[in-house]
Amino acid sequence: MSDRQPATDLPAFGNDDPASAPPAGLQSATLGKYRILESVGRGGMARVYRAYHPQLDRYVAIKVLRSDLAEDAEFRARFQREARAVAALRHPNIVRVHDFDAQDDVCYMVMELLEGDTLKTRLNSYRLYGEQMPWGESIRVLLDILDGLAYAHSEGMIHRDLKSSNILLTRQGQAVIADFGIAQIVGGTQYTATGALMGTVEYMAPEQGRDGHSDARSDIYSLGIVLYEMLTQHPPFEADTPLAVLLKHVNDPLPPLRTCNPAIPEPLERVIRTALDKEPEARYQTAAEMRQALLEAAATAEIALPERISPPRAFTTAEAPSESVIVLSGSHRDQLAAADFADDDTDVTLNEKLSQAVAPASPETPAAQPPIARRENITGKAILTALGFVGVANLTALTLELSSARWSIFATGWPFEFLLCSAGLCLIMVATQCIWLFIPIVLIFGNGVLLSYSTLTGDWQRWSFLWVFELWLIAAAVLIPLLIYRRRPYARRFSRSAGIVLGIASGVLALLVAVLAAGASLFNALL
């Protein structure tokens, strides 16, 4: 038996979506020995009901998997196999599966019913009230989850879909992992073999998005995203489409935590950076290793760890009065800084959406590659285009210079190389929408302009005061992206716009400098 008491009721979190009502076939129906009482939630893979077992006088949660899958004989076989493995897990930090079965076209799992809220709901509550989850409590949540994860990994079970909505914070002050094995049951190994994807892209490890491969280190990456989210109140990689988010996981550097919140202790930032390394070999290799690193980080930062997690705000206590109950619907939902923070259900149609994002324009167009395998088509093509642009420009200038002794572009026009490099980086910035490329672009472009002036005029004496502009360049190059990055919805738009403007300016000035240098050399040769 679990040391946690089954709940007699579930807190209501304001889900007034009519779509969450139970289907007519299960309203007041029975599944096996269980009487369905009410719907308590739904996601991309399943719907959850509160139910009652009369013989045992026990309330349970029943997760009913998607009915369209139950018609597949291969799915039913996988359901029986994987559900049996999940039901064998026995750990206080993993939701207990009591039973599983299939009735008619319904496959379902019977789980313990816990009082509490999800970590996602708790974080939304903090966001709504403009508060921050205490560092110690964030670490305590992770320590509990890592305990359960270490046990599951030792039993050969990988979660594959860890996220804040799959972490339950119980009334007894524990963090518990939910939905273990569900991603494997619904997705199946044959999906990953064909490159298809399912899951929640904000928490997906690069190798999951790139190759469809996941192991224990993929779960550690997802848990690193959860810790990042607890400390900054948003996941590190956000974009307008699932494909763009996955590409960020694969290609983009981790946004600095302390630009979002300078108070975040540096030891915790180091833990997150290790957990979120792009290469699985460079991450923590086991949950136990990450747990030990978290404990050491807490000790170094002198963070006091609570014995238990604070009670959910949905319960009336001295620490959390009843008026603090969080409701994420209607006008209350509009108060959130980003309402889509609450919309991170597992997406079983993810691969279809990613394919549509890169669908061929006509029947004659070749079929699209797997989405993340095409990441080179964005960043890679941009880099090759930039290199080609710089190479062709240099080859043209060299050809003109060698064609006649009167032409001498590189002698005085060599700073146009700076401007060419700036234009190339702008191409990459437009393609990747990485705002941090603004820093080298501004520095290279600014120096190219200053050096072009000095070489073309031969006036190097003015550097006695021109060096001051270097300080302004550095300040502008660093401060502008830092300020804009805080307003994430505008950061990508700024990156694209700034890349286009600076790219055009760099290209035009590079051509102008080369022409002026060639013209000056020709004029001197004729004198």
Q: Got the DSSP string for 223-265?
A: HHHHHHHHHHSS-S---SSHHHHHHHHHHSPPPPHHHH-TTS-
What distance lies between CA 258 and its chain's CA centroid? 17
| pLDDT of 349 | 55
pLDDT at 321 over 90: no
| Residue bearing the bigger pLDDT, 38 or 322 | 38
The angle that helices 135-154 and 216-232 make with each other, rounded to 10 degrees, is 170
Q: Give the span between the Cα atoms of 137 and 140, in whole angstroms.
A: 5
Structure token pair of residue 488: 């994430």
pLDDT at 275 over 90: yes
End-to-end C-alpha distance for the chain, whole angstroms: 100
With beta carbons less than 8 A apart as the criterion, state whether 131 and 286 touch. no
With beta carbons less than 8 A apart as the criterion, state whether 284 and 293 touch. yes
Q: Tell me the whole-structure pTM to 2 decimals.
A: 0.60
Structure token pair of residue 494: 């700024």
Q: Which uninterrupted H or E stretch holds 61?
A: strand 58-65
| pLDDT tier at 360, thresholds 50, 70, 90 | very low
| Residue bearing the bigger pLDDT, 82 or 276 | 276
pLDDT at 143 over 90: yes
Structure token pair of residue 19: 């779509």
pLDDT at 196 over 60: no
| pLDDT of 346 | 64
Query: What residues contact residue 363 under an 8 Å CB cut-off, 6+ apart?
Result: none
| pLDDT of 299 | 94
| Residue bearing the bigger pLDDT, 163 or 199 | 163
Q: Residue 103, SS3?
A: strand
Query: What residues contact residue 432 under an 8 Å CB cut-off, 6+ apart?
Result: 251, 252, 378, 379, 382, 495
pLDDT at 274 over 90: yes
Q: Give the span between the Cα atoms of 183 and 77, in whole angstroms.
A: 15
With beta carbons less than 8 A apart as the criterion, state whether 429 and 493 touch. no
Q: Which amino acid is at 225?
A: I
| Residue bearing the bigger pLDDT, 93 or 239 | 93
Query: What residues contact residue 505 under an 8 Å CB cut-off, 6+ apart?
Result: 445
Q: Give the span between the Cα atoms of 418 and 61, in whole angstroms.
A: 64
pLDDT at 402 over 90: no
Structure token pair of residue 310: 């604070």
Query: What residues contact residue 9 under an 8 Å CB cut-off, 6+ apart?
Result: 115
Residue (of 204, 164, 167) closest to 343 by Cα position: 164
Q: Give the span between the Cα atoms of 9 and 223, in whole angstroms.
A: 29
Residues in the chain, overall count: 527
Q: Which uninterrupted H or E stretch holds 126?
A: helix 119-128
| pLDDT tier at 187, thresholds 50, 70, 90 | low
| pLDDT tier at 191, thresholds 50, 70, 90 | very low
Structure token pair of residue 320: 């959390």
Q: Highest mean pLDDT: which of 144-153, 320-329, 408-417?
A: 144-153
Q: Which CATH architecture best describes the domain 116-354? A: Orthogonal Bundle (1.10)
Structure token pair of residue 261: 């919140």
- Ranges in the chain annotated CATH 1.10.510.10: 116-354
Residues tagged active-site: 161
Beginning with the edge strand found earlier in the chain, give each strand of the sheet holding 46-53 in spatial order.
Answer: 30-31, 34-42, 46-53, 58-65, 106-112, 97-103
| pLDDT tier at 522, thresholds 50, 70, 90 | low
Average pLDDT over residues 18-43: 64
pLDDT at 504 over 90: yes
Q: DSSP character for 487?
A: S
| Residue bearing the bigger pLDDT, 392 or 313 | 392
Q: Are strands 97-103 and 58-65 parallel, antiparallel or unpaired?
A: unpaired
| Residue bearing the bigger pLDDT, 66 or 374 | 66
